[in-house]
Chains A and B, each alone.
Chain A
Amino acid sequence: EDQVTQSPEALRLQEGESSSLNCSYTVSGLRGLFWYRQDPGKGPEFLFTLYSAGEEKEKERLKATLTKKESFLHITAPKPEDSATYLCAVQGARRGATNKLIFGTGTLLAVQP
C-alpha cells in the first residue's frame, strides 16, 4: 500500500537558521513526488515535482532532494514568510494514469524573527 510519512510534525526555527523537512515514502513504482506549501485558510500551493532518485530542484530558499526511500526539503536561511505547512505527496504507478496522489500529514514550520 502506498504510504507517505512526514517528519517532524512541527518545527520552530529562528530567522536564518537552516534546517530540513523529511518525507519518507513507500510506493509501487514512483512516478513523481510532489511538494506543496499550505498557508492557513488557503489551499496547497505547488512547489516542486521530483521524478527519480538523485534529482534536485530549487526555488529561492527551498531545495528539494529525492532518494529511493525519502525526500528532503531543505530550507536555507529561512525568513518569517516561509512559515507554513509543507505537504509531501507521491504518485505511484497504480495511480499514474489519473495523476492521483497520496499525501502526508505535513510539517508545520514556524520561523520566528
Chain B
Amino acid sequence: AQSVTQLDSHVSVSEGTPVLLRCNYSSSYSPSLFWYVQHPNKGLQLLLKYTSAATLVKGINGFEAEFKKSETSFHLTKPSAHMSDAAEYFCVVSGPTGFQKLVFGTGTRLLVSP
C-alpha cells in the first residue's frame, strides 16, 4: 500500500524567506504525487503534481517540488514566502491507475510572520 509521511507538523518562516515542506513517500509502484493546499475554512486546492514526467515540477503561486526516487522524497519549496502562503499543506500519493484513490499525509501547517 502507498503512504506519505510529512516530517513536520508546523513550519514557521518569515515573509521573504525560503519555504521547505518535507514529504517522503512509500509505494510499491511508480507513484503519482501531489501537493494540495488548504486555506482556513476552504477546500483543497491542487498546487502541483508529479506523474513520472519531469522530476522538477512547477506549480501555482511560485511553488515547486522535486521528485527524488533515490530518497523517496517529494519536498515542496518556494524561494520567497508571502503572507498569503500561510495555510495547511498536504502531500498526497495515488495510484495505480483505475479506481485510484488519494492517500493524504498528516499535513504541515505553514506559518508566515511579517
B is a partner of A:
no
